[in-house]
A and B are shown apart, each in its own frame.
Chain A
Amino acid sequence: MVREFNILITGVGGQGVILMSELLGKAAIADGLSVRGSEILGMAVRGGSVTTIIRVGEDVYGPLIPAGKCDIVMGLEPSEALRNAHFLSKSGLVILNTVPIIPFTVSLGQSSYPSLEQIVEKLNSITGKIIKLDAAQIAREAGSLLAANIVMLGALFGTELLPLKIATIKERIEARFPAKVAPVNIKAFDLGYQVCQQAVK
């Protein structure tokens, strides 16, 4: 029985964050688990920060992850991972897509963007477990730049920490995409999975 497992997925509008939580949620149900989660829509139009939460287990009641209790932070964008770092548990894990998306406020001179080293250093002050990957590059290898979120999903399963079956999530991916692009997404998932496995070793 799973007591509590918390995943936070964060990125920028348009990266496919919400799709990831839908796939995970449906897969969890198919595997017989209870799911809770939440997302912020509305003002999170294109370009804004987007965060979604997926929680599974018998002890989970609420839609939000308590600060300090997140098992995995999935950062589809590095600075957004840092923005949510305080949710991380000390034994938690970060999967970080290292490709930054610089907001227009930086061009306007209203804010600045941190270096990847600064981001990793801050995350390191909570947990040493950080898996870094270039999801865009891997997605390109798989055949579509649009599949970066599925690369990240593969990496998430590559940790082997999830109480979910790989076969189930792959079924969900195949059901979600048109037959024409499903194979590319499965390949993206597999490549993400492998990269993470190598990093864990």
Chain B
Amino acid sequence: MKELTISSDAPGERIFVLGNEAIARGAIEAGVQVATAYPGTPSSEILENLARVAKEVDMYVEWSTNEKTAFEGALGVSICGVRAMASMKHVGLNVAHDPLMTASHIRVKGGLVVVVADDPWAWSSQNEQDSRYVALQGNIPVLEPSSLQEAKDMTADAFRLSEEFGQLFMLRSVTRIGHGRSDIVLGEISRERRKGSFKKDPGLLVYVPRTARINKPLMLERLEKIRKAVNTMPYNQLNLVDNAKLGIIACGLSYSYTMEAVKWLGLEDEVSILKIGTPNPLPEELIIKLLTSVKEILVVEELDPFVELHVKAIAGEHNIGVKIHGKDVVSRIGELSTRGVTEAIAKLTKSKLPVDFAELDKLQQEAAPLLPLRPPALCPGCPHRASFRAITTAAQRVAKDYGEDVEPIYPSDIGCYTLALNPPLHAVDTTVCMGGSFGLANGMARVVEAPIIAHLGDSTFFHAGIPPLINAVYNKANITMVVLDNSATAMTGFQPHPGTGYTATGDETAALRAEDVARACGVKFVEVIDPFDLKAATETVEKAMRFQGPAVLVFRGLCTMIELRDKKKAGEKIVPYHVDQDKCNPKCDACIKLLGCPAIIKQGDKAVIDAALCTGCSLCAQVCPYNAIIQE
């Protein structure tokens, strides 16, 4: 029996999926013909899974260079009358912000949906922004699922709604939806395939000032229709009980925590619950019904008080005297949990807690000092570790030219290499956004007397690194810009990008080289470096940093995870290194203290290499002052 997958034509059957697979399935059911994205946790698996079945389901699927390009591509498809989806993480939505703000003015022809994955607690992100505010600002209606089933259903339905109302829609996921797992029931797959056609319509598509003025009122009319329609959409559900102690408004995934909390407290017959699946616009009629039926309201939502503010406004406008709680009792920081919601409801209803949470907290506090730190680290054999060793060694030398106490500055970026923040590498001084390393370096160079060497990865370079590189050339910034080229978007799962030579669906294509781009942009000092030739690499970094004007270095070394996978496939053996204990000086620890490689551990007072983890990269052998590390 062939196992059912997200591409199976098996309506009514149940399959076990990751949330991002559920969203991908929704797009397949909707007959989406074009899907675009740039990888970003927790959204990457949506496009990854679509890419895997693209040919089978007749969909064009691409990894775009960045989220702006991804969204613009989808918009272009929609304008030509075909259904398109762009998916991205929350901070990626910022990159696409410019086209998003105008796209909502365009009456949609082919269904257009932007999927955004927020990351409460910033598990894999630089912040925990709430994308619903972007939707509000951009006049974009939002669907927010409470479960994986709903994530699938809403995705499919969003394209129908987008066409019915002529409006761009947003699906808001969060980490626990995208990286949640559950069974879902499959729906029908639409086999409709449209041929795109472009109809000239400057009054709708050419945004000179007049066009915005013509289309804004039309857009507001469309939104007004949606505002009325959400009251009867199945995603919003009001369950009123008689003489309720409390009314709860729960948005998206928070509904699942709320349902569990209410059951845990045994309050099923004592609270009224309004489930919200459309935070923008909100179902105002349902909200008024709830507000007028109770004396006290609790709004449960992850991150910012988005629904709460609107509910307070509705209560004010309609003069409803009801006390509205939200972020005063439910955390604005991080993810919600059944426990957090249980505590909030218990407090407002004066109920007894089902579990002594204080006792659990005490246990956690007592256990904490016993626990070893287990932060994610650069893998054994990672070329970035070697690159950073060369960069920091050279930068320290060059810094001496500026004065005895001068420290080099290492602006960094978004990727695996951000892990060099940790000891012993200490090679990350700033991380703000994609491309921000080169961007910040441009500014710093104007005001500090210190050597500046900024770094980002290959995928990040193509995403947002080129404009600040051009800026450095144009404005003559004296900085060194490093591209750590491991031929993958490694942190998010090794997705291909414009430098890798193949597309999302595995087709061969041109492989762009960062050094060619840099030279074409007018950089006069450009060198390509082998990270594992430590001595030569260090010398080249030093030269680049002493060069007057912008310099670019490309450290090229394949991501070790991919290299190991390829070697395994080819049946190549990995020959690990080991420590000759007779030569090892127990007082030295250079290999451990300089590199922080997870394969090197201390046994007794000597360094030992874990042969199961060692990839044979040779870096430790190159830093050992006693030549005690040798290949077997």
Contact = CB atoms under 8 A, between A and B. Distances in A.
A82 B366 CA distance: 11
B87 to A, nearest CB: 16
A13 B377 CA distance: 11
Interface stretch (B468-476, B511-519, B590-598): B590-598
Q: How large is the interface on B (under 10, 10 to 19, 20 to 34, 35 or more residues)?
A: 35 or more
A85 B600 contact: no
A108 B260 contact: no
Interface string A100-126: 001111111011111000110010011
A66 B337 contact: yes
Interface string A32-57: 00111111111111111100001000
Contacts of B332: none
A59 B256 CA distance: 10
Interface string B476-513: 00000000000000011000000000000000000000
Given A62-B256, A64-B338, A66-B338, A85 B367 contact: yes
A61 interface: yes
Interface stretch (A19-27, A154-162, A180-188, A192-200): A19-27
Contacts of A166: none
Q: Is the interface of B mostly helix, strand, loop or mixed?
A: mixed
B182 A37 contact: yes
Interface stretch (B25-33, B173-181, B568-576): B173-181
B376 A48 contact: yes
Contacts of B41: 41-43
Contacts of B374: 12, 47-49, 79-80, 103, 105
B425 to A, nearest CB: 11
Given A41-B41, A67-B337, A118-B370, A25 B16 contact: yes
A132 interface: no
Contacts of B360: 67-68, 86
B371 A79 contact: yes
Contacts of A29: 14-16, 183
Given A66-B260, A105-B373, A110-B423, A35 B181 contact: yes
Nearest to B493: A41
A83 interface: yes
A15 B491 CA distance: 19
A96 B254 CA distance: 32
B372 interface: yes
Interface in A55-105: 59-64, 66-69, 79-80, 82-83, 85-86, 102-105
Contacts of A2: none
A43 B264 CA distance: 32
Nearest to A34: B183
B133 interface: no
B316 to A, nearest CB: 32
B510 to A, nearest CB: 30
B342 A66 contact: yes
Contact of A40 (B179, B253, B597): B179
A63 B254 CA distance: 11
B375 interface: yes
B259 interface: yes
A35 B182 contact: yes
Contacts of A125: 363
A25 B182 CA distance: 8
B45 to A, nearest CB: 9
A12 B373 CA distance: 12
A44 to B, nearest CB: 7
B411 interface: no
A128 B16 CA distance: 34
A61 B355 CA distance: 19
A28 B182 CA distance: 10
A40 B366 contact: no
Interface in B586-615: 592-593, 596-598, 600-602
Contacts of A122: 363, 366-367, 370
A82 B337 contact: no
Contact of B371 (A45, A60, A82, A126): A82
Contacts of B146: 61
B363 A108 contact: no
Contacts of A106: 372, 601-602
A106 B179 CA distance: 30
Contacts of B137: none
A66 B372 contact: no
Contacts of B255: 61
B364 interface: yes
Contacts of A66: 260, 264, 337-339, 342, 355
Contacts of B363: 85-86, 122, 125-126
Interface of A: 12-13, 21-22, 25-26, 28-29, 34-49, 54, 59-64, 66-69, 79-80, 82-83, 85-86, 102-108, 110-114, 118-119, 122, 125-126, 175
Interface of B: 3, 14-16, 41-42, 123-124, 146-147, 175-177, 179-183, 253, 255-257, 259-260, 263-264, 335, 337-339, 342, 355-357, 360-361, 363-364, 366-367, 370-377, 379, 416, 423-424, 491-492, 561, 592-593, 596-598, 600-602
Please name the 10 residue pairs, one residue from A and one from B, whose CB atoms are nearest each other, closest first: A42-B124, A62-B256, A68-B355, A61-B256, A42-B41, A66-B338, A48-B376, A37-B181, A63-B180, A114-B370
27 contacts: A22-B16, A25-B183, A29-B16, A35-B16, A35-B181, A35-B182, A36-B147, A41-B41, A42-B42, A43-B123, A43-B124, A47-B377, A48-B374, A62-B259, A63-B180, A63-B256, A66-B260, A67-B355, A80-B374, A82-B371, A85-B363, A104-B600, A106-B601, A110-B423, A114-B370, A125-B363, A126-B363
Given A46-B379, A48-B376, A104-B601, 7 more contacts: A36-B182, A63-B177, A64-B176, A66-B339, A104-B598, A107-B600, A107-B602
